[in-house]
């Protein structure tokens, strides 16, 4: 009897938490960030069972899963049903990347006629079945944590996995990219060169790659917790650093599905249309070409 109890304890000790990685509408870039962990991934495999990860292995273990990482947005009715099944199999569900947390660049369809896009892209659009919108996972099921980025930062991803394995809250910095940019010793491209930059309203995590090469931030890590895109855009327009049209288009990229970014974008578009109607062309002038020229030189 004592021997059986000891064996049962040993078997329980050998059971590792199960990790699953799921893909919806996306480019797979965030899953590649997990594969890019390389040495760290081997360490992860020692303490958790990678039970379902199509990018890494065809071997799939059945659920339930202790932690599910979900990449991509919901763009079809099939996906809308599938994410509910994923949620039912998952003890914890974490969304990773711009697509899963805000709809991604494909959310541009939310503000246009989706059937028009289909007609221009596909020779036989009638064969395509898709929803009129691209929406984040949190619009469909309960999400335990959202990790932003396009693609995500692998160090932040490892922190999130570690946190859920140990039953604690992930320690992800919520400040803007400007903080990391200053800590890295970069010269502020907006102050020094007048280059339009979304760093003050963008979540930290990318390693300030663009400012490091004298380029303005494109906001691919999405809004930080207290971002105010209207205030930043107003300042850039008033200082002739960018036109209202440029500010509007800059906010309609990776996180166009985010409500804060999109509402601000629409406001600047309305300002442009209003100024054009009144003939106030001076207010439409910005240094948009300076940013484009800088980018062209760098590339």
Chain centroid offset of residue 218 CA: 12
* Separation of alpha carbons 60 and 67, rounded Å: 15
Write out residues in the chain with pLDDT < 70, as ranges.
1-14, 280-299
pLDDT for 299? 42
pLDDT for 296? 47
Rama region for 89: left / alpha / beta (φ>0; ψ in -120 to 50; rest): alpha
Cα 119-125-129 angle, rounded to 5 deg: 120
The model's pLDDT over 10-21, given as tens digits with 9 standing for 90+, comes to: 555 468 899 999
Residues 6+ apart with CB under 8 A from 205: 148, 149, 152, 153, 156, 172, 173, 177, 180, 221
pLDDT for 128? 86
Q: What's the Rg (C-alpha) of the chain?
A: 22
- Looking at residue 6, what DSSP letter applies? H
């Amino acid at each position: 009897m004592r021997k059986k109890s000891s064996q049962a304890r040993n078997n329980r000790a050998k059971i590792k938490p199960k990790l699953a990685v799921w893909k919806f509408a996306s480019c797979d870039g965030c899953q590649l960030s997990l594969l890019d962990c390389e040495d760290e991934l081997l360490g992860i495999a020692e303490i958790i069972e990678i039970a379902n990860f199509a990018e890494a292995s065809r071997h799939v273990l059945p659920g339930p899963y202790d932690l599910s990482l979900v990449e991509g947005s919901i763009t079809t009715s099939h996906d809308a049903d599938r994410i509910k099944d994923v949620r039912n199999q998952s003890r914890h569900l974490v969304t990773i990347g711009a697509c899963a947390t805000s709809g991604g660049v494909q959310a541009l369809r939310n503000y246009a006629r989706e059937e028009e896009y289909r007609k221009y892209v596909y020779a036989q659009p009638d064969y395509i079945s898709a929803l009129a919108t691209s929406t984040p996972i949190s619009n469909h099921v309960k999400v335990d944590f959202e990790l932003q980025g396009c693609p995500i930062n692998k160090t932040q991803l490892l922190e999130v996995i570690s946190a859920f394995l140990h039953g604690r809250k992930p320690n992800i910095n919520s400040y803007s990219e400007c903080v990391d940019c200053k800590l890295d010793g970069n010269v502020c491209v907006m102050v020094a060169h007048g280059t339009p930059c979304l760093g003050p309203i963008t979540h930290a995590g990318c390693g300030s790659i663009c400012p490091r090469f004298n380029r303005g931030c494109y906001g691919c890590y999405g809004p930080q917790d207290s971002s105010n895109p209207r205030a930043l855009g107003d300042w850039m327009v008033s200082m002739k650093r960018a036109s209202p049209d440029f500010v509007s288009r800059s906010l309609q990229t990776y996180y166009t599905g985010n409500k804060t970014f999109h509402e601000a974008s629409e406001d600047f578009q309305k300002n442009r249309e209003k100024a054009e109607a009144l003939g106030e062309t001076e207010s439409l002038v910005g240094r948009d070409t300076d940013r484009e020229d800088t980018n062209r030189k760098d590339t």
